[in-house]
Amino acid sequence: MTSQEAIDIYAGLGACAALGLAAGGFAYCAMKPQSQVFGRTLIAPDAPGELALTFDDGPNPACTPRLLDLLASHQVQATFFMIGGFGEREPELVRRVASAGHLIGNHTWSHPNLALTAARQVEEELRRTSETLEQILGTAVRYFRPPFGGRRPFVLRTARNLGLTPVTWNAMTNDWEEPVANAIAGRLTRMVDRLTERGRAANIVLHDGGHRMLGTDRNPSMNAASQLLDRYSATHRFVTLDAWSSEAPSLG
């Protein structure tokens, strides 16, 4: 462990202890998507009726093309947080996502938990992914979502030094392991409706890929996305995350 890593961890523990979080404090600060103790992340503004559909762990040739067709049929743009190693292997699919008007973000090179990753690897994961995606796209990548939500002060500083805005979320379920689309959509619908009632926008996470390999079956997630689009297209406004980048995060 480097001296900087030790400083970050002890500083984080001190901040958590100051909040009275004790033994579970570090885990809460590092992994809870709404926590801002280790540093600010973009979640969603106080904007009831706005939804951001975001998709993690692509690009995935098994599901991402179908998702693009689905979004196009509803004239909705989404945000895709891509794994750099997959983007390098599927550059045409990366370009197809961007050419359809969707926003592309950095989801690291190999999907580690950055709360527990050595400082040198953290920087390499973020830098390599941004450089690869930017070379494919010809435009800058400005948003970053830490895998599993895992972060610590060094991770957020590194992201900002690379020109990346860290992003978490306020609406996610276990779509990566749930086989029933209705269950995924039902849970997310309840979250979105609660957020709307509380005057908040929803930053929704679904998965169009799996971080372990290309070709992961994400059909339940795709079908759940279809249900959300059908339910909310007439009553809510779908946005990409850059629409919220100047807004303060809403917690919860």
Enzyme catalytic residues: 56, 207
User: How far apart, in whole angstroms, are the C-alpha atoms of residue 53 and residue 239?
Assistant: 8
48 burial class (0-12, 13-18, 19+ CB within 10 angstroms)?
Answer: middle
Q: Are 204 and 172 in contact (CB under 8 A)?
A: yes
Q: Are 62 and 219 in contact (CB under 8 A)?
A: no
Q: Are 209 and 86 in contact (CB under 8 A)?
A: yes
**What is the longest distance spanned by two Cα atoms in the chain?**
53
CA 142 to chain centre: 13
Q: Are 122 and 158 in contact (CB under 8 A)?
A: yes
